[in-house]
Amino acid sequence: MSIFGPKIKVRFAPSPTGFLHIGGLRTALYNYLFAKKNKGSFILRIEDTDSKRKVEGGVENIINTLHSCELNYDEGPILNQKLKVKSQKSKIKEKGNNGSYIQSERLPIYKHYVERLIEKGTAYYCFCSAEKLEEEKKKQQAEKLPTKYGGHCIKNTKEDAEKRIKNGEKYVIRLKIPENGSTEFEDEVYGKISIKNEFIDHQVLLKSDGFPTYHLANVVDDHLMGVTHVIRGEEWLPSTPKHILLYEALGWPLPKFAHLPLLLNPDKSKLSKRQGDVAVEDYLKKGYLPEALINFVALLGWNPKGDQEIYTLKEFIRYFDLKSINKSGAVLNKEKLDWMNGEYIKAKPIKELTELCVPYLKDAGLVTKKTDKKLIEKIIKIEQGRIKTLQEITEGVEFFFKKPDYVAELLIWKKSDKKETKTILTTLLKFLETLPKGKFEEEKLEKETQRWLKKENINTGDALWPMRTALSGQKASPSPFELAWALGKAEALQRIKDAIKKL
């Protein structure tokens, strides 16, 4: 049992209207952390009652993204990996005893509870046309009044409504809001909130197509699935009084509510795709590591005390506290994400990092199945401290895989000239040829070469600049010793010979 009493149960309930938003990932993460800290359960539920906005493959994307980020839920839809099937329904199975976890498969349940509300007189049929409602809205806006339904159908008797339905009139079912008083609740983040009932709209519960609205489906499902804490985005805060009135109308106990602050662009506007990536999949495709993304979004609006910035998921579970979440919006700082991702890349074992980078190298046409795996691993090791995303591994490494093309002038260091550069490179080549392969490891090669330069009284820049350029063909590149180690003795010596010919 947790400090909150009976077993904690939370849910993440996204809509399959596209790819999972970075804000959605944070909501899922906070639900997960809260459940795990309190030894509770975490549910995934799919809100697909708005069929017009539903995107093909959206459910699978949500499931795969949560799996990639290791946010494993206790109940909800899962992919049926064993079967090769065409229809979405057969691709998805479920775990848990409260299914279905897909709202479009629960329509009879919502209808049952709407009928109960009608019987109790806490909901009513509304036959107002879209045109009438739009006219009413414009009038209210012109008079600078809150836009809400005027209650024109609230006095219709059940008998009269049934006759109109029998005659084929279209209708929706609305929640009857008390005329007087206020609706109050204690939010775990924002504290005590009170709204006068006169400002609360008579919310549509069941649409004319027979599908429930978000408000009805969420309240019914949260109750039936035993959800104790509703942790969701701040955008749902104005709807909470409607949900509380619906709970009360159905005679159900209230869960606790916690609303999370908005995610903002650097200019403090609401996070949107117009100003950059917002889909988790976009970040993953660019080579942001799931564990870095989790670390980053966890700190958007909440922070454990102290200066630490890199945390494991287990540490987040230990420290997480709803009461410590900030009320103000959290700015998404991409530079911070890049830094954090770079730190995670640096900490990766080289073999694991190589496996993660190879697909990007293949997509860039830099490697094939025949490419020397040891060469790839050496390149990854050299670049590991530089790259901020896996995608960046393709930048400036082409010369490792094929001989570079460059002009002879690039080989010349500062005040030197062609003749002197050629002489020094020739002398350097003879020295390198005398070294055994074992000395071509980065540190050993540097030590031996520096000792030789000192002995021969050759300026470091005059020798190492043309050596590095001969190996890379670039103005800027890793050190000549890293390059020689990665390329191997034979290839390194051949490239120096090619450079001498250019001169």
Q: Which residues are catalytic?
A: 273
Q: Are strands 9-12 and 41-44 parallel, antiparallel or unpaired?
A: parallel
d(CA 26, CA 73): 15
Q: How far apart are the first and last CA of the chain?
A: 79
* Best CA proximity match to 263, nearest among 284, 281, 279: 279
Note every long-range contact of 238-242, with CB atoms under 8 Å and residues 24 or more positions apart, other chains counting: 239/214, 239/215, 240/185, 240/187, 240/193, 241/183, 241/185, 241/195, 241/197, 241/200, 242/175, 242/177, 242/200, 242/201, 242/203, 242/215
Task: Report the phi/psi class of residue 64: left, alpha or beta, with left for phi > 0 and alpha for psi in -120 to 50.
Answer: alpha
d(CA 356, CA 364): 14
* Helix, strand, or coil (residue 205): strand
Q: Would you state the structure tokens that stand for residue 204, as one six-digit string?
A: 């549509």
d(CA 111, CA 49): 13
The dihedral sign for the CA sequence 269, 270, 274, 278: positive
Q: What is the DSSP string of 21-61?
A: BHHHHHHHHHHHHHHHHTT-EEEE-B----TTT--TTHHHH
d(CA 410, CA 466): 8
Q: Would you state the structure tokens that stand for residue 145, as one six-digit string?
A: 């009044």
d(CA 442, CA 241): 66
* Best CA proximity match to 261, nearest among 271, 252, 248: 271
